[in-house]
Amino acid sequence: MLSDVRSDNLAAIFERSSGQACLYEWIEDVREKYVTADRMVTNGGGEEEVTAPTNSDAVMHVEADLQKTLRPCVRTAHLVRDVEREAMLAPLIVHGTPIIDRKSTFIAHACPVKCVEDVRSFVALLLDDRKIERAIHNMLAYRIIGDFVVKDNDEDGEHGAGNKLSSLLELLNAKNVAVVVTRWYGGIKLGPDRFKHINTCARLVLEEHGYLSDRGTKKKYK
C-alpha cells in the first residue's frame, strides 16, 4: 500500500516540476512518508500538536544565550543586541515568497552569516517586526563553513522542524547562511504537510537569492 502511494506521489511531483529539477522534493516525499508511517505506528496517530512557545520555555534558554554559546535561541535573541553588527546585517536580509495552506502562512527569511553572533543578530532583527515576533513558530537553522563546520537549529516549538531545516541546508550544500521560516497558524492542523511547506519555503529563498551557487546573486557580507 505504501509503495503504491509513494509511486503516485512521485509521479505527481514529476508532473508538477514542468521539466525543472525535482530530485530533492522526491527525496523529502519518500522520507516523510516513512517517518510519518513510523510515527503513526509508535504514537497511534499522525496529527500535529500546535503549541506556541511559552515565556517559561524562553527563560530556560536565557542564561545560556546571554553567555553567547553556540546555540542562539529564537525567543531570546533580542536580549543580546549588537548595534554595529545589526547595522551591517540588516540590508542583507532577504525574504521569500509566502506559501498559504488552509489559512496557515509560511515565509522564509535568509541572511549571510560568518559566526553565531551574526545568527543571533539576524534573528533579533527579524523579531523587531511585531508580526514575525508574534507568529506561532520561527524555525531557525544555520550552516557556517570555515576551518570546520558550525551548524545548529532551533525548532521554536515545532517538533522536528529544526532538524529538517538543518538537513536541507546540508543536502543543498548551503554555506554561510542562516534561514528562519515563520509560520502563522490559521486554526487548521496541516499534519505532515507543514514540514513540506517549511522546507519548500527555505529552499526557494535560498535558490531565489543565490545561496546555492557561487555565481548566484546573494548579497555580499564583508
The pLDDT of residue 100 is 97
The pLDDT of residue 112 is 98
Q: Which helix (H) or strand (E) holds 117?
A: helix 116-127
- Write the CB contacts of 41 (distance below 8 Å, at least 6 apart in sequence): none
The pLDDT of residue 179 is 98
The pLDDT of residue 62 is 45
Are the beta carbons of 100 and 89 closer than 8 angstroms? Answer: no
The pLDDT of residue 27 is 56
- Is the entire prediction scored with pTM above 0.75? no
- Write the CB contacts of 31 (distance below 8 Å, at least 6 apart in sequence): none
As a whole number of angstroms, the distance between CA 156 and CA 73 comes to 8
Mark the ranges of the chain whose per-residue pLDDT is less than 70: 1-71, 213-222
What DSSP letter does each residue of 132-158 carry, written as one string? HHTSSEEEEEEEEESSSEEEEEE-TTS
What grid cell was written down for 119?
545568527
